[in-house]
Chains A and B, each alone.
Chain A
Amino acid sequence: DTGVSQDPRHKITKRGQNVTFRCDPISEHNRLYWYRQTLGQGPEFLTYFQNEAQLEKSRLLSDRFSAERPKGSFSTLEIQRTEQGDSAMYLCASSLIMAGWGSYEQYFGPGTRLTVT
């Protein structure tokens, strides 16, 4: 168990560019979550996957954001036409949820810090 990993750890981009982040969850975990954390705030839920299905998206996830988990393993989060307001830490978390049992806690990766200039 190597934990949740995210790549890259830091990304600096110019306004209007597209960026893509990757998250590798703990291998046996079937749920994967994306959160966004801005300075001085707690993480805010963006979206989550149960295996490869994206089951819920927050209102924070505008049309410029898209997330995938094609084979139910790693996930990508893409932001198109980045804006300065997208600057934040993007956190990925995973957990194992089965019918009637599972871990209640989520395990977080180190995050990708995005700076839009």
Chain B
Amino acid sequence: AQSVAQPEDQVNVAEGNPLTVKCTYSVSGNPYLFWYVQYPNRGLQFLLKYITGDNLVKGSYGFEAEFNKSQTSFHLKKPSALVSDSALYFCAVRAPMDSSYKLIFGSGTRLLVRP
């Protein structure tokens, strides 16, 4: 069965410092991987995806993520954090042979950027 693990419930970082939010996955075949962000009382907002190709993908708001097949990881990164990046971040995977294209989400990581 497909699954996603986000090992950190919360990540704290100072504004201007680099941030990393970790994600590991388990899926049969080559995965499709996604990051979404959720602000309070809002739906999920798409940040970026990995389908194939370059292992480093760039997304919205200066975020990027690195796909590592050997470590089955897809960590979210940003070189310089902003206070406004504080939110709940979800990693998701889609199994390549699943015709529904449904997303399997991790439990989320709360990012807190302090001024």
What residues make up the interface of A, taking CB atoms closer than 8 Å to B?
4, 6, 31, 33, 35, 40-45, 48, 55-56, 91, 93, 95, 97, 104-111, 113
Instruction: Answer whether A41 and B45 are a contact pair too, CB < 8 Å, given A56-B100, A97-B101.
Output: no
Using CB atoms and an 8 Å cutoff, list the residues of chain B in contact with chain A: 4, 32, 34, 36, 41-46, 49, 51, 90, 92, 94, 100-108
Task: Give the A-B contact count at a CB cut-off of 8 A.
Answer: 61
* Interface SS, B side: strand
Residue of A with least CB distance to B50: A104
Q: How far is the CA of A42 from the CA of B92 in the complex (A)?
A: 9
Q: Chain A interface secondary structure, helix, strand, loop or mixed? A: strand
> In the bound complex, do residue A110 and residue B43 qualify as a contact, i.e. CB atoms below 8 Å apart?
yes
**A43 vs B104: C-alpha distance when bound (angstroms):** 8
A77 vs B107: C-alpha distance when bound (angstroms): 24
- Structural contact, A105 and B49, CB atoms closer than 8 A: yes
In the complex, A43→B37 CA distance in Å?
A: 12
The 15 sampled A-B contact pairs (Cβ below 8 Å) are A4-B43, A41-B107, A42-B106, A42-B107, A44-B105, A48-B101, A48-B102, A55-B100, A97-B101, A104-B94, A105-B34, A105-B49, A108-B44, A108-B46, A109-B43
In whole angstroms, what is the CA distance A33 to B84 when docked? Answer: 29
Q: Which of A42, A45, A109 is within 8 Å of B102, CB to CB?
A: A45
Q: Are B102 and A43 in contact (CB under 8 A)?
A: no
CB pair A107 B46 closer than 8 Å: yes
Contacts of A31 in B (CB 8 A): 101
Cβ-neighbour of A108 out of B43, B49, B106 (below 8 A): B43
Alpha-carbon gap, A35 to B101, bound state (A): 13
Contact across chains for B102 and A56 when beta carbons are under 8 A apart: yes
Report the Cα distance A45→B95, complex, angstroms: 13
Q: How far is the CA of A40 from the CA of B10 in the complex (A)?
A: 11
Q: Report A33 CB to chain B, min CB distance, Å.
A: 7
Residue of A nearest to B32 (CB): A104
Contact across chains for A41 and B108 when beta carbons are under 8 A apart? yes
Q: Which residues of B contact A6 (CB under 8 A)?
A: 43
Contacts of B36 in A (CB 8 A): 108
Chain B min CB distance to A54 (Å): 11
